[in-house]
Amino acid sequence: MDPYLNRVLIIDLKKHSYRIEEREMYFKEYIGGIGAGLKLLKEFLDPKIDPYGPDNVIVFAIGALTGKFPMVSKTISLFKSPHNNFLGESHAGGRSAIALWQAGYGAIVIKGASQIPVYVNIDGNTVQFKDARALWDLGDTRTVGRIMRERTGRTGLRTIMRIGKGGEKLVSYSTVTTETYRHFGRLGLGCVFGSKKLKGLVISGKRSVLARNKQAYKQMYDEIYNLCLSTPTKKYHDLGTAGNILPLNSIKALPTRNFKEVTFEKAEVLSGENLATNYLGRRIACTHCPVGCIHLAVIREKYPDEPYFYKTSLISYDYEPLYSLGTLIGIETVEDFLKILETVEKYGIDAMTAGVVLAWATEAFAEGIISKKETDGLSPSFGNGSVYVEMIEKMMEHKNEFYKLMGKGVEVLAQRYGGRDFAISYRGNEMSGYHTGPAAHLTHITGGRHSHLDSAGYSIDQKILMEKKSITPQEMAKALFDEEAIRQVLSSLVVCFFARNVYTVDRISKCLKVFGWDLNEKDILEIGRKILIEKNMIKRDMGFDMENYYLPKRVLEVATPLGFIDPAYMKETVKYFKNFLFDKS
């Protein structure tokens, strides 16, 4: 086993104190990550608390395979979400997982709130609370990262997590940025940091682990390593997820102009192919990931006040922001897209939610639901990039009530102004870029974090489309449930989902064995199922009822490649899914 993995660092921001405790069972039985994190959350968090208050708790965790095999590069976070008031869960890579593992912890629990802004520097057993008053309101998340980098040790090995103005201003969907280009993106971890006056977290250390059997370790490593570099994983290195734009456009599933359309006439411009050929400046990787899927585009801007004076920036792009800050708001040039994305990155807010919010505001403005009074004189229209940048700026300044509410997501906006029919969101979390069929939407409704990653319904839809064979609500619920359950295993180890085809259950069992976990394939599947149920029980304690969902009218009005979405089919599938969760437990 990995003795340091059992250690949990518990940080109290109110007292500026910390202690280290052991939780062996969480890592032995639940293999770490989400499995261990949920146990810790249950132990430390009262589900009824106000997510903005000091009683909210943040858990970071890594898992049994962290540091040992490639593409096991993610850290999970759990908290109560200020964005939807249910369970907050968000994963990120960068150096975070390896750094936490090297620091000698399986998890970190952060509780309480600080009186003054601080950032916490963790180096092995040493924990320092550093004054961050001068860093508050500094603006750019990149600058904040640079300052922390100068003041803490171990270059090349540490993780530097931080929030931007979004978190400080309590935008409910603000992110925690790590290593400039990776994010704990969804459900507002940045906002929880902000509410705790926690500006950032630097983590490093020098722990390592010995394999029980050197030869077996090397052999297993080679098997996994070689698979990571072969198809289908390699596509993430080549075009990256941006390669999805054209295929989704061609099957008429690419949400465009607030889901009014499913094809975009400028899809070629925003395609992964065009970006890679004409804008890609560099690719980087998370630590211990040979794939290197992080695509950085180069944007060169002219300063308006002086001739021949330019600024060059590198912005990481993916499919999701290309959808939300591209097609969904009708952006027609790569330059405009990158400019909006850079603004979102600077302030540290969730690119997906930000795009859906801007799309809703554009339509609400056109419909007369909001006017120039709300927009503070701006006239948003699809395709007008500079207006969107200005709107984000005004949102950060809390310019008026409307802009303040913009920082709370589309459901809050629709509640105040109307327009719920075209507010594309489920359970308080804005929709991802797939109008592939019912499964994509069902994933958002039934998934633990209401994200496309929960059970990848878009993939089920595309399989149905290819095989031309529809499935019953019960079969659909089973497919979604099984996928989400196995993803709990990956999120506990914690394996990047891009390696989901590499880490099959039998290989996971073999990898675990090298380091002393004796779990067969059946045990592993059972762990996944148990974790998924556990997660939903915690959500239930937070007042969540899966069947109490709302299907935006817009989603029903626009055909998917599998035809129009049938609300009755959705309802029945959700019922079956809920039964899978709670009947047996």
Q: Least distance (Å) from other proteins to the CB of residue 140?
A: 12
- The verdict on 56 binding other proteins (CB under 8 A) reads no
Over its C-alpha atoms, the chain yields an Rg (Å, rounded) of 23
- The verdict on 207 binding other proteins (CB under 8 A) reads yes
Distance CA 540, CA 107 (A): 24
Q: Least distance (Å) from other proteins to the CB of residue 210?
A: 6
* Phi, psi at 383, each rounded to 5°: 100, -15
- The verdict on 214 binding other proteins (CB under 8 A) reads yes
Whole-number Cα distances in Å, 391 to 111, 283, 543:
34, 30, 33
Is 515 or 580 the residue whose CB approaches other proteins more closely? 515
- The verdict on 285 binding other proteins (CB under 8 A) reads yes
Contacting other proteins (CB under 8 A), which of 112, 292, 383, 561?
292
Distance CA 531, CA 510 (A): 21
x/- track of binding to other proteins for residues 118-147 (CB under 8 A): ------------------------x--xx-
* Contacts to other proteins from residues 69-98, by CB under 8 A: 70, 98
475 sits in which H/E element: helix 473-493
Nearest to 402 by CA among 423, 384, 418, 416: 416
Nearest to 336 by CA among 372, 288, 384, 282: 384
Q: Report the 10 Å Cβ neighbour count for 17.
A: 12
Q: Least distance (Å) from other proteins to the CB of residue 215?
A: 8
- Torsional class of 219: left (φ above 0), alpha (ψ -120 to 50), beta (otherwise): alpha
- The verdict on 62 binding other proteins (CB under 8 A) reads no
- The verdict on 149 binding other proteins (CB under 8 A) reads yes
Contacting other proteins (CB under 8 A), which of 42, 252, 283, 530?
283
Contacting other proteins (CB under 8 A), which of 139, 232, 290, 567?
290
* Contacts to other proteins from residues 168-187, by CB under 8 A: 179-181
- The verdict on 208 binding other proteins (CB under 8 A) reads yes
Amino acid at 464: I
Q: Record the tokens describing residue 534, joined without a space.
A: 């556990």
Nearest to 322 by CA among 412, 233, 245, 210: 245
- The verdict on 311 binding other proteins (CB under 8 A) reads no
Q: Record the tokens describing residue 360, joined without a space.
A: 């809703």
Q: How big is the chain, counted in residues?
A: 585
Contacting other proteins (CB under 8 A), which of 286, 299, 395, 519?
286
Q: Which stretch binds other proteins (CB under 8 A): 214-222, 372-380, 537-545, 573-581?
A: 214-222
Residues engaged in binding other proteins (CB under 8 A): 67-68, 70, 98, 102, 142, 145-146, 149, 155-157, 179-181, 206-211, 214, 217-218, 221, 225, 229, 282-292, 294, 296, 313-314, 515
